Chain A
Amino acid sequence: MFSKLVKHEFRATRRVIPFVFLLTVFIAGMMTVSVALNLEAIVGITMGLLIIMLIAEVIITYALIVWRYYKTMCGNEAYLSHTLPVKPHLLMWSKFLVSFVWVAISYLVLAACMVLLIIIFAKGTGTTLAEIFDQLKIFWQAFGLRGHEVTVIVSIIGLFILSIVSGLTQIFFSVSLGSTSKLHKYGIGGPILVYVVLYFVLQIVSMAAMALVPLAFAVQTTEAGELSFRIVSRNMLEWFIETIRNGEPVSNAGLVGIGSYLILPVLVAVLLYATARIVDRHTSVR
């Protein structure tokens, strides 16, 4: 049944969301052609449009996901969704999976277009691709990342996935909780209210975890003038207080707490579990 739910979710969403990506790619293509043909006026227009579209495509993708989830889980279409002979949490998971794919694609389109913009900008300033790579190498070296390429790439991919999962979880939780019978009287305001409260709670918890969890990046400058990073078992708040008391850092290493990245997956897991429970046990279609 889950595969059928996923299939129908893709069928329902593929009519609108990919259109936004295609429009972005089309504008990027127009810009590339106009650069190749040296049509300066069109390059300016298409570049402006592309920058707007890059911001818009991610926002539009999220907006369409929110709207679709609300409509099919709490709005009129919920009359069909919630009468299908499936566990309600499977509905939620199928929507989550499909939404994840669309958001990931929207970010990949964004990244690809950013690379294209950099290449075109470099071409306009007479910089070669080799020179750009050299600059990146210097940047990489200055941040002390040489020799840690795999770790950095895996971490970036992990954070990319975590940020999408976290964003979707907050949306699904807010819409599900905000549409339960006790919040019906607020209409669409219910999910918005829950989202705002949840956002502030998560910010506070993240900041607390960043300051209090004894895990941090120690950032130091080497004699060669490069930055070096290492993970230390100290909490950022303690270091911060010492720094203020002494007027200067105890060591020459600055600390950036990373406890929030440990807490975030736990919070996401708790919220997803809570969302599934709400959908299973507190369904109350208006």
Chain B
Amino acid sequence: MSMIMIENLNKSFGTKEVLKDMNLSLEPGQIVGLVGPNGSGKTTLLKILAGLTSDYTGTVRIGGKPLGVETKAMVSYLPEKTYLSDWMRCVDAIDCFNDFYSDFDRNKAMEMLVQLRLDPKQRIKTMSKGMQEKLQLTLVMGRQARVYLLDEPIGGVDPATRSVILDAVLKQYSEDSLMVFATHLIADVERIFDRVIFLGFGEIKLHEEVDKIREKYGKSVDEVFREVFSCLVSL
């Protein structure tokens, strides 16, 4: 059974169509790269899957369920934005997740904090953006979720931290889950993808296993991405 099933999904902002009649089915046990240029609809798609946007048309199911409380319990979502209150310390945020998510592993999260060199007692308002992103990643990956939705988790951090974050993601990821990883920094992360979806102007331009892309085009995913989207942009 598909973990994520999308049929005829449409979403507009005013007169601008952001997602156009999208159909997609994703199986568990893989890391899927959701790539596309800015404004291609990646964040909107993830927000719909996370239950943050309700004004769309079409059918979306996660684990066979329509979006709602049950799917929110299955999905661990990392947004682009910082969503924690600035008065919180790392431990407060961990306690909050521990209270609300039955699949949250407090010990795993505390270990990850140490791994990412975060002080559990430090207040969020005193953290840099990179540190806040690491904390949010800790919270998201601290869950034994069936679906992980990560929106640009490495967008605001330096290259060294990117590697640390990617290693942490791989370490925490369980193989029976589905991870959707939205990014435009493909070269840095394509090594962890099993499959990629190229999203351009609200449509899926390519949906293929990474190995098959390399085999078919004889190029890296990043190179294929540049080719596909340079054509689209020039058009």
Interface residues of A (CB under 8 A from B): 1, 4, 7-8, 11-12, 15, 76-80, 82-87, 181, 185, 281-285
Contacts and interface: CB of A to CB of B under 8 A. Distances in A.
B51 interface: yes
A78 B69 contact: no
Contacts of B83: 76-80
A76 B69 contact: no
B101 A283 contact: no
A79 B51 contact: no
Contact of A77 (B51, B73, B84): B84
Contacts of B13: 181
B99 A8 contact: yes
Contacts of B99: 4, 7-8
A173 B100 CA distance: 26
Contacts of A284: 52-55
Given A11-B92, A77-B83, A284-B54, 20 more contacts: A1-B100, A4-B99, A8-B99, A12-B85, A77-B84, A77-B85, A78-B83, A79-B52, A79-B83, A80-B83, A82-B51, A83-B51, A83-B75, A85-B72, A85-B100, A86-B69, A181-B13, A281-B54, A283-B53, A285-B47
Nearest to B84: A80
A86 B70 CA distance: 9
A283 B47 CA distance: 11
7 contacts: A77-B85, A78-B52, A79-B79, A79-B83, A83-B51, A83-B72, A283-B51
Given A83-B72, A84-B72, A285-B47, A76 B82 contact: yes
Interface residues of B, number: 27
A284 B48 CA distance: 9
A282 B51 CA distance: 11
B96 interface: yes
B69 A285 contact: no
B35 to A, nearest CB: 22
A84 B100 contact: yes
Contact of A82 (B52, B82, B92, B101): B52
A86 B50 CA distance: 13
Q: List the 6 closest A-B pairs by CB distance, nearest first.
A: A85-B73, A79-B83, A80-B83, A285-B52, A85-B72, A79-B79
